[in-house]
Structure formats: structure tokens, C-alpha cells
Amino acid sequence: MLRYLALGLLLVTSVGCGNRQATAKYRIAVIPKGTTHEFWKSVHAGAARAAGEIGDVEIIWKGPHREDDRDQQISIVQDFITGRVSGLVLAPLDSQALVPPVKDARQEGIPTVIFDSALDDASVTVSYVATDNYVGGAIAAREMGKRLKGEGDVILLRYNLGSESTEQRERGFLETLQKEFPKIIILSENQYSGTTPETSLKVSEQLLQKFGDKVDGAFAVCEPNATGMLGALEGAGLAGKVVFIGFDPSPRMVDALREGKMQGIVLQDPVQMGYQAVKTLVDHLEGRAVQPRIATGEYIATRENMDDPKIKKLLSPEQFGE
């Protein structure tokens, strides 16, 4: 019993710290878009869970400091190629810029599973594990249309150029509104928030200053820019008056949903995403067939359903280290 306990502790140490362990059969680099936002901490938890269940797997977790630093993410991938990891699990910051380093990894015999955001060239990867982000944007549009009773003026706050996942959300939102709610007018759909709550707050304040009382609804496509938009709506005295839908939760956004300052939060399952990405890569390394596309689901939380067990769990997903 003590021997098994010692082995278990060794694995937990490897997964948590990313230190090399000579006993691990597979060393897998998991590279998120960033490391600070709540979403990535939950992806980390799922990746670590998969490694623990499979056994003999070391997870090395490393991502760029900022979610707009393509050069740093490329450098991280290149360092892992040089370090001869068994495989890469990557959420690419840019759908085009990360293709060459992933192609380099493949040429070196290091396979890559992509998660969260797709690459433009799927032929260089093993599988893509993610939410259907277009559907997530469509879900937001339908909730917006329902809340506005099919009429009104809305703002779309975009995220960052080159981020495939959020671009799909943006497209799903706009195309669904245009098709299903033609009387809803898009006041602004070309403003990018940047990758932090601070830059998002500034852009959101500028939009609200420009359009003022015309704004009936707003959609922010990820956690940091939803946080910024929430702050701007609160500062302008419009929180609860404007139909506001975000994407991905944070404790502050969950509170805002309960208080009626937000009317919806589109949800992913980041724990499942991290879990399935690591599991899929190990299956490939073991010679088992894997699916080229693995969907992890999309949902919407509202004030009315936020205490349902499934939705409640997705609003406060497990985070690494908890």
C-alpha cells in the first residue's frame, strides 16, 4: 500500500510542477493561450485529471503571459520541440502563425492535438478538441433576440484578431441575428477589445459614450472582454438596463448574472476540454484511432437556470490546485 501511495504522489508532483520524471512514459506539453484567466486554470485541471487517470504521463504546463503574444507562444512550442516532448496539446493564439511550428513538430515526430481554437491547416494535427464556437455565438444571438423580443440596437465587442475561437463566436452571433432577427440593428461590430479586462473596459466605455441610450444589447465574446464591458455598463449606469450576454464565466460575472446585470453567459466545459485533449493525444501515441474533431459542448446560463446542477457546475468549474 505504501509503495502505491508513493507512486501516486510522484505522479501528482510531476503533473503539478512540470518537472521531468524519468519514470514517465510520456511527457506531454500543454500550451494554453495564457495562464491567468479562469478558463485556462480549469483546462489545466482537466489535463491533470487525464494524466492522473491514465498514469505514467507527465504534464508540462506552460503558456504565454499575454494572450496576444504570438511570438512567445511560438517560442514555447519550439522549446518543447527541442526538448523532445512526446507530444503537444496546444491552444493556438493565431490560426495561421502557429501552423509552421506545429508542422515543425510533426516533422520531428512530435504529434499535436489542438484545443479551444483551430489551426487553418488541420492536416498537421492529430485532432481538434473544442466547443463549437459558431454554435456558441448563435446561442448568444438567440438569447439576445428573445430578450429583446426581436427588435433593438446591439453592440458586438470582438476580442483579438487571429483568435479562431472568438472569430467563430462573432460570426455565429452576427449571422444568426441577421437571419433570425432581421429587425435587430447592429450598432457596432468592428471594435476589438484586446486581451485584458483593462483594455476591454476602455474600448467598452468608448462604445457606450458613442452610442449612449441607443444601446439595447451587448455581446462580449470571452471572459476578459465581458469583464470590461460589465465594468463599462456599471460605470454608465446601464447595467441591468442593457441586455448583456457574455461568454465564459468568472465569479464576478456569476454575481452579475444573479443580480440581473447580465442576462446570459454562454458556457463551455474547459475541464472536459483539457481532459479530452490529453486523453486523445495519449490514445494516438498508443496507436489507437482517434476522431479528428471532438466536441465538448456549449450551453447558456441565465438567471432562471443558473442553479440547475449542470449549469451551476459549469459556472464554477474546477480549477487546477483546488
Q: Say whether both 94 and 145 belong to one domain.
A: no
* Boundary residue ending a domain (247, 267, 287): 267
Q: Considering Cα of 299, then 99, then 274, then 30, what sign does the dihedral take?
A: negative
Tell me whether residue 207 is in a domain: yes
- Output the pLDDT for position 11: 36
- Output the pLDDT for position 36: 83
SS3 content of the chain, % helix, strand, coil (to 5): 50, 20, 35
Q: Say whether both 153 and 110 belong to one domain.
A: no
Which triple of cell numbers denotes residue 150?
A: 426581436
- Output the pLDDT for position 18: 41
**Are 282 and 116 a contacting pair, CB within 8 Å?**
no
Q: pTM for this one?
A: 0.86
Mean pLDDT throughout 270-285? 98
Mean pLDDT throughout 22-28? 84
Q: Say whether both 150 and 122 belong to one domain.
A: no
Q: Say whether both 238 and 90 belong to one domain.
A: no
Residue 132 DSSP one-character state: -
Q: Say whether both 166 and 103 belong to one domain.
A: no
Q: Say whether both 149 and 160 belong to one domain.
A: yes
- Output the pLDDT for position 1: 35
Q: Say whether both 279 and 203 belong to one domain.
A: no
Average pLDDT, the chain: 92
The proportion of the chain whose per-residue pLDDT surpasses 90, expressed as a percent, equals 87
- Output the pLDDT for position 162: 86
Q: Say whether both 258 and 151 belong to one domain.
A: yes
pLDDT digits (tens, 9 = 90+) for 127-156: 999 999 999 999 999 999 999 999 999 999
Answer yes or no: is pLDDT of 13 > 70. Answer: no
Tell me whether residue 96 is in a domain: yes
User: CA torsion 311→313→316→321, rounded to 10°?
Assistant: -160
Contacts of 93 by beta carbon, 8 Å cutoff, 6+ apart: 33, 64, 67, 68, 69, 70, 73, 117, 162, 163
Q: What is the extent of the structural domain holding 284?
A: 2-130+270-295
Answer yes or no: is pLDDT of 12 > 90. Answer: no
Helices (H) then strands (E): counts for the chain: 11, 12
Tell me whether residue 10 is in a domain: yes
- pLDDT category at 61 given cuts 50, 70, 90 is very high
Q: Say whether both 199 and 76 belong to one domain.
A: no
The count of domains in the chain is 2
Q: What are phi and psi of 185, to 5 degrees?
A: -100, 135
- pLDDT category at 24 given cuts 50, 70, 90 is confident
Q: Say whether both 242 and 278 belong to one domain.
A: no
Tell me whether residue 78 is in a domain: yes
- Output the pLDDT for position 2: 30
Tell me whether residue 237 is in a domain: yes
Q: Say whether both 169 and 287 belong to one domain.
A: no
Tell me whether residue 221 is in a domain: yes
Distance CA 74, CA 63 (A): 10
- Output the pLDDT for position 3: 33
Which triple of cell numbers denotes residue 63?
A: 503558456
Tell me whether residue 308 is in a domain: no
Distance CA 319, CA 322 (A): 6
Answer yes or no: is pLDDT of 7 > 70. Answer: no
Q: Say whether both 283 and 245 belong to one domain.
A: no
pLDDT digits (tens, 9 = 90+) for 74-104: 999 999 999 999 999 999 999 999 999 999 9
H or E element that contains 293: strand 293-295
Tell me whether residue 307 is in a domain: no
Exposure of 129 in the CB half-sphere (CA atoms within 13 A): 27
Q: CATH code at 104?
A: 3.40.50.2300
